[in-house]
Chain A
Amino acid sequence: MNTDLSNKNNGNNVTRLLDNEPVGMTVQVVRVLGDGAFRQRLLEMGFVRGARVTVVKNAPLQDPVEYMIMGSHISLRHSEASQVEVTDNDAEFCDMEDAYRGVVETEMPAIDPMADNVLRVVLVGNPNCGKTSLFNNATGAREKVGNYGGVTVDSKEGWFVVDGRRVQLVDLPGTYSLTEYSPEEMYVRTYISENHPDAILNIVDAGNLERNLYLTTQLMDMNIPMVVALNMWDELEKSGDKLDIEMMGRLLGARMVPLTAYNGHGVKEVLQATMDAIDESEQETLHHNVNYGTLIEDYLKSLGAMCPNLDRYTVLKIIENDQHAIERLNGQANAEEVKKAAAEIRQHIERDYNDDIVSIITDLKYGFVRGALAEALTPNPDRATNETKPGYSLDKLLTNRWLALPILLVLMWLMFEATFTLGAYPQDWIESGISWLGEWIGKALPAGILRDLIVDGIIGGVGGVLVFLPQILILFFFISLLEDSGYMARAAFIVDRIMHRVGLHGKSFIPYLIGFGCGVPAIMATRTLENRRDRIVTILTVPFMSCSARLPAYLLLVAAFFTANQGLVLMSIYLIGIIVAAITAIILSKTILKHDKTQFVMELPPYRKPTARNATIHMWSKGKQYLQKMATIILAASIIVWALGYFPRHEGQTPQEQIEQSYMGRMGKAIEPVVAPLGFNWQMGVSVLTGAAAKEIVVSTMGVLYTGESDATEESASLKNKLQNAVTPEGEHVFDPIVAYSFMLFILLYFPCIAALVAIKREAGTKWMIFEIFYTTGVAWLVSFIFYQVARVF
């Protein structure tokens, strides 16, 4: 943290930097120092001249720091906050005026909305403003919503019907602006430019209009029919603030509709307004844009005339020297002329305003928004202060300097312990049901290959995984509650300093968290990381966050071989995964992916009461996915594994000889020398190989290989019992707690499933995918080897 350097003597005025302001202090922004994309991101998040910023608290490890600006809570590291020059002297801003100059009207020719036979509407808005909730309500989909940014990182498509007309609705990732600071922002901008939607449905948080409407001012310049949905309208009403929607709509030149997406209020009206906007565009209309003042408007007109095929937004970006916008000139005959003219315009504007172009345009946009809000919004004078807002006391506790990390660990432990204790009862019922089914079919069908396939292959394989459905549902229910409450973003804030120490970014916490469910969306969620190096390190370490597909294997082995402290044993596996991820990140940061300075700016969403409805929907959605997997890939893989273990068959073989001489047995024997030092037999070796298709298949393979080895009495019918009683030809037990833990470590760490590997290839490249296969398997072998050999000694 800067101390003496923070307060520089600048003539008669002492320059103060934000990072040195104490907790509780409220100051105003003078300027943002430096240059580059991060500076632009700070400006766009609201750190513009005159904006009031309050220092809320330091993270438990004293970095990063939580600030409140424009009604939002933003997290910045000290090194980033030192780029913001501030003052508490109001006199510095007495020459500022809210620069609302109204809108300019542009004549737009009529457009044919069915030009490509599809009516298409895109959902655009800040992260965490309710786009996916609206999407789910409008289309009947069950996409995941979460109270943290980065939940939606790819577009999702659905359909809705209004007045008999079918319209495609596209849910785009949340973005604070269209400036392409991160891959997801680039994705949104590119999607809109290339797909030319018929309308934009801009969702804003009605309780946080000043920052949310910044994106609206950019969308206005794209000259696409737009409707602004004021989401979380119920929270605005509760706060006592009054917004004159009609006036606001007139001032912005856009239709505005109140909405409460999570319970569906206002959804019909929003969709109808969108259709009305599309219908209007079929005639020649006047489109409204932000008025930047006479000087800049004249320049926009003159430059726009030189490139008539580009929209106003792109022309403005060319003036701002945005490289992606400038690339769109490629191929144009007068491209060089346009670039030269834009450079001259930029110099003139900067000279006139005595500031850099990015600050000027951002200031003008925020001025426009502030001016409009000054007319249309009447704040409640008795509005809750930060300290009286619901969730404040809870937040103080959960992010307390000494308690935050222990609370995080306790919550994780409670989640795992509940998974075991509560899940044990339904698990027993399912297990009994499957055993009964196996016995009934065994008696109903005559002995033969078909009966063996059904009982040993299908029921043994699929049943072995199906019994874990209750635990999976319970785990996801708790994860959903934590996510929806807003605690997960706080967790990223808490652990950022630790992540930074190991060469990671605090925002990597979100993909890691998603990775506990499934590696594929977790790898995709790394798109929220702006820096490519951070993304690759996170992608390579996400597979160490044990996904839910590996959970059946842990649950089976923990239940079979650890009678006490089951929750603790399971938690230790997850923690080891996290530790290995941290060590890997450190190694990568010091070698092939050297750690460079990365920025951490993240919005902290407000705490929200998680709804049982949402958690249940999410839990059910996960359950459906699990059952779908059972009925497809797990079923098919179980059949194949059974066949490999069944053939070839010869007369007079004992069951032991038959399985060892089967195709599966031969494969297993071939790799046995590699896995024997880890304490594994060939069956375990083959099981981990089959896990390449899907990790649940590890258990279903074990189910197939161990079914039929012992007499099927009622007590020994379960796979758990079979593992407990499995013996070598010499009569020794195959499994004990050491072998079981070594096996769990290997399952935790070795290469992820094919779907995850393909996701790695898509997001990082083939080279990194191959690296991941060898690295993770090597680490798994080494860790299991060390554990097994050392544990044996003791």
Chain B
Amino acid sequence: MTTSTLIQTIVVLGIVAIALVYVLRRIIKTTRGQGDCGCGCGKNCQHKKKND
């Protein structure tokens, strides 16, 4: 494996790892009712979570 290929592989695996962590965190937050309301409106979501 050349140096260039090695660097590319590390970079790509890093990106994949970040994506995986992001998706898992998002799933965990959604199932716990944290973060936004889950409607996908992003971090400026105005929906307040109902205090059940």
Contact = CB atoms under 8 A, between A and B. Distances in A.
Given A453-B15, A636-B22, A754 B5 contact: no
Contacts of A640: 16, 19-20, 23
Interface residues of B, number: 29
A639 interface: yes
Interface string A758-769: 110010000000
Interface in A625-666: 625, 628-629, 632-633, 635-637, 639-640, 643
SS class, residues of chain B in contact with chain A: helix
Given A156-B47, A158-B46, A639-B16, A755 B40 contact: yes
Given A450-B8, A640-B16, A758-B38, A155 B31 contact: no
Contacts of A449: 5, 8-9, 12
Contacts of A156: 46-48
B42 A643 contact: no
Nearest to B36: A755
A560 interface: no
Contacts of B42: 624-625, 628, 632
A366 interface: no
A381 B8 CA distance: 81
A639 B5 contact: no
Nearest to B13: A643
A450 B12 contact: yes
Interface in A149-163: 154-158
B15 A518 contact: no
Contacts of A643: 12, 16, 19
Interface string A442-457: 0000101110010000
Interface in B1-40: 4-5, 8-9, 11-12, 15-16, 18-20, 22-23, 26-27, 30-31, 33, 37-40
Interface of A (DSSP majority class): helix
Nearest to B43: A628
Contact of B30 (A629, A632, A755): A755
Contacts of A693: 23, 27
Given A154-B50, A155-B48, A762-B50, A520 B39 contact: yes
Contacts of A300: none
Contacts of A588: none
Given A154-B50, A449-B8, A639-B16, A758 B33 contact: yes
Nearest to A756: B38
Given A640-B23, A693-B27, A157 B33 contact: no
B9 to A, nearest CB: 6
A693 to B, nearest CB: 7
Interface string A692-720: 01100000000000000000000000000
A143 interface: yes
Contacts of B41: 625, 628
A682 to B, nearest CB: 22
Given A156-B46, A449-B8, A520-B39, 11 more contacts: A156-B47, A156-B48, A625-B41, A635-B19, A636-B20, A637-B23, A640-B16, A693-B27, A754-B27, A755-B30, A755-B39
Q: Closest 9 interchain pairs by CB?
A: A755-B38, A639-B19, A636-B19, A520-B39, A156-B46, A450-B8, A628-B42, A643-B16, A636-B22
